[in-house]
Structure 1
Amino acid sequence: MKYPLHVIIRKKISSILNGFLSLFSSKKNQQTTVNKDEIKNILIIRPNYRIGNLLFLTPLINELNKQIPDAKIDIIVGMKLAGKILEPLPNVDQVIDIPRKLLLHPLELFRYIKQTRKKNYDITLNISGGSTSSQIVSALVKSKAKASFYSDKLWADFTHVQERGEKAYKHMGLETLEFLRFFNIPIPTLQPNLDIKLTENELNLADNDLQTLLQENNIAKDRKIITIFRNARFDKKISDAWWSEWIDKVSELDNNITFIDILSPDIPEKLNDKVLAYGNRDLRVLGAFFQKCNLYVSADTGPMHLAVAAQAKVLAFFNKTSVEVYGALGEENKTIDIENLSIDDVAKITKDFL
């Protein structure tokens, strides 16, 4: 994936700053593991504003619930909507959001410091390694143990540090499972999936939305439903012209399909008159809506991982990023690299997969 110049500059400045601060950090008496039987309160730090990166926390959260069922988890994130995605998980106590650019919002930073320092944690997990924001947060919280994987950009005083070593899974969505090593908990040999554990009420709300949308547009109940999400970051985005032609080609192969275009702040209008439109600011209900449809289709983007975490059937179209590292998790889902495929080829794959 190709980043814009301003993102490259920001990453470079952050890297230089962290490298400078790491020269003054203390790395004495660092340990590698804690006794999981003594852990009751866990803090996970992931100040990121991307939906996919937050959903990638769910394998770790769900595995900790299995292995340390009495422990409660707080999560510090970088987006307000994340609370609605993660907070309903059974072992999550609260989700705290911080400003995206922490040092540029001093009043918000002060509010955050007051909120987080009210609680003492048994262990804090720094998911983002050498990230400046993550280390600022790690330095401010009260915690008996503070754990991070090693980075030459670490400057905060972590009590527990490990070398990453070889990962159990190549997919980024399962990378957080590596933090189980700090608890001496084996990483699952059966590949887990993303899972936000939708409630029956959320599924019912989504089903009602879907049925209402179909009834209002006089769509027969026996038609197959494909939801599409057209947005993606930077050069991962697929053009509207491509999507329009793909819909035509799929419809030629199977004329019993209705397409629903998912709207968002970045996509306020539907693609054309051949599709229906739906949107929901409650991301959990949106995920449930994906599950209620026959198929969810998009490029490599956060809502694709939301669909996976909602246990929807997913077909992902990749053109820049690695299928192995970022593709749709789950044996029932499919990810294809469309870079060298014709739209006819992709349409046939879609029809066969549906």
Structure 2
Amino acid sequence: MSLKNRINVVRKQATKSVTKKLLKQQSISLFNPDEIKRVLITRPNHRLGNQLLIMPLIKEVHLQFPEAKIDLYLKGNLGKVLFENYEYIDKIIRLPKQHFKELGRYLNSWFSLRQHSYDLVINAEASSSSGRLSTKVARAKHKFFGYEREMKLFDAADVAHISKYPIYSLRYFLKQSLVEKSLPDLELKMTGKELGQGKQLLATYADSNKPTICLYTFATGKKCFSKVWWNHLYLALKKEYPDHNIIEALPVENVSSLDFKIPAFYSKNIRELASFISQTSLFITGDCGIMHLAAATNTPTIGLFNVTVKAMYEPYNVACLGIDTNQKSAEDICQILRTSTEKLNFSTPII
């Protein structure tokens, strides 16, 4: 392990230790939600999936406090791309990804938390030590650091999900019913122009008169299925859905577990990729950030899980499905798709 990585490990352990006690907090009652005019939501993590998965929480906060402007404290450059059409988001305070290379900007982003006074600060992920620390540093009348899952303070059918737990936690913190209202959906908020561009892009890769199944065969580490596995699934899908286009969306690495044997779309522009996915009928992928991007486009999305916990990370929206692939063949997966047609609303998208 390099010296920089060792320092990073020590830094994370120290921060977690120092901020652990911040989780001990009491619920509050806000008799007048209109008194909340400015909210900060903090999620200083640069990963695509983690930033996408705070979208339902952001929408929940907007529904709870419709007059409030919302600021975000995020890491990296994705925030301004993902949230550009969220009109009630005011500022995005950006923590640089590379702390040591951009030390000045890194320190400045922390100091900037003190420049504004908030009515409420919300740590989107209780287990994040950086989230706890940024909540502590920010100036606010009310602060919600989150509840760690092992505290088991409340229960709901889908409380294990990484994106739903913070919403239930906030409702518990505000002394509200957990289930009286439905949870907000995961939404990228694409424009009509973007959807139209996606339709045009798809038409160059697939027959517009047929529904399209899109595969994304890349994931990191052990979450990535082998080329042999993906080829078996592709052949099974081809047999099960002979009247469908089957295409592939490629990662930024421009690699294919199907060795480019089917039409493959490539784009480094995350919103362009999303617009393309939005016009497909079904998106199938392993557990990765692009899985959550697909779900955020309101495309029926299948998440394939072999090592991570399905209940915690499966695609968020109603017309989505997580499948534990352990001890399941490609044919078994097709059988699950066949019996889940109604849930997935598997049809040609309409702009």
TM-score interval, smaller chain: 0.7 to 0.9
Partner of 1:210: 202
Structure 1 gap ranges (5+): 152-162
Counterpart AA for 1:127: A
Asked if 2 retains the 8 angstrom alpha-carbon contact of 1:39 and 1:123, the reply is yes
Q: Name 2:59's counterpart in structure 1.
A: 62
CA shift, 1:343, in A, is: 2.1
Aligned to 1:179: 170
Residue 93 of structure 1 aligns to a residue in which SS?
Answer: strand
Normalising by structure 1, what TM-score? 0.81
Show the counterpart of 1:199: 191
SS at match of 2:145: strand
Q: Which of 192, 207, 210 is equivalent to 1:223? A: 210
d(CA) in 1 for partners of 2:145, 2:325 = 37
CA contact 2:83–2:188 (8 Å) conserved in 1: yes
- CA separation of 1:9/1:349 partners in 2, compared to 1, >3 Å: closer, same or farther? farther
Are 1:315 and 2:315 an aligned pair?
Answer: no
Cα distance, 1:184 vs structure 2: 4.2
* Cα separation, partners in 2 of 1:322 and 1:150, compared to 1, 3 Å: closer
Q: CA deviation at 1:124?
A: 1.1
- Counterpart secondary structure, 2:77: coil
**Contact conserved, 1:75 with 1:95, CA < 8 A, in 2?**
yes
Q: Is the 8 A contact 1:86 1:95 kept in 2?
A: no
Distance 1:51 1:139 in 2: 25
Per the alignment, residue 155 of structure 1 pairs with none
Matched letter for residue 180 of structure 1:
R
CA distance in 2, matches of 1:31, 1:111: 31
Contact 1:250 1:351 (8 Å CA) reproduced:
no
Aligned 8 A contact 1:270 1:277 in 2: no
| Counterpart amino acid of residue 185 in structure 2 | N
Q: Output aligned runs, 1:21-100, within 5 Å.
A: 21=18, 32-33=27-28, 35=30, 36-100=33-97
- Output the CA distance in 2 between the equivalents of 1:26 and 1:310: 36
| Most deviating of 297-306 and 343-352 | 343-352
- In 2, the alpha carbon distance for the partners of 1:26 and 1:276 equals 51
In the other structure, the counterpart of 1:274 is: 261
Residue 226 of structure 1 deviates from its aligned partner by 1.2
Aligned to 1:315, what secondary structure does the other structure show? strand
TM superposition shift of 1:58? 1.6
Q: How many residues align?
A: 332
Moved more, 165-174 or 293-302: 165-174
Amino acid corresponding to residue 282 of structure 2 in structure 1: L
Which consecutive unaligned segments of at least 5 residues does structure 2 have?
Answer: 347-351
Structure 1 equivalent of residue 153 of structure 2:
165
Are the counterparts in 2 of residues 47 and 100 from structure 1 also a CA contact under 8 Å?
A: no
SS for the counterpart of 1:54 is: helix
Over aligned residue pairs, what C-alpha RMSD do you find?
A: 3.3
In structure 2, what is the Cα distance between the partners aligned to 1:247 and 1:294?
16
> Is the partner of 2:163 in helix, strand or coil?
helix
2:162 maps to a residue whose letter is M
Which amino acid letter does the alignment assign opposite residue 204 of structure 1?
A: G
When normalised by structure 2's length, the TM-score is 0.81
- How far the C-alpha of 1:342 sits from its partner, in A, is 1.6
Q: 1:40 to 1:185 in 2, by over 3 A?
A: farther
Task: Determine what percentage of the aligned residue pairs are the same residue.
Answer: 24
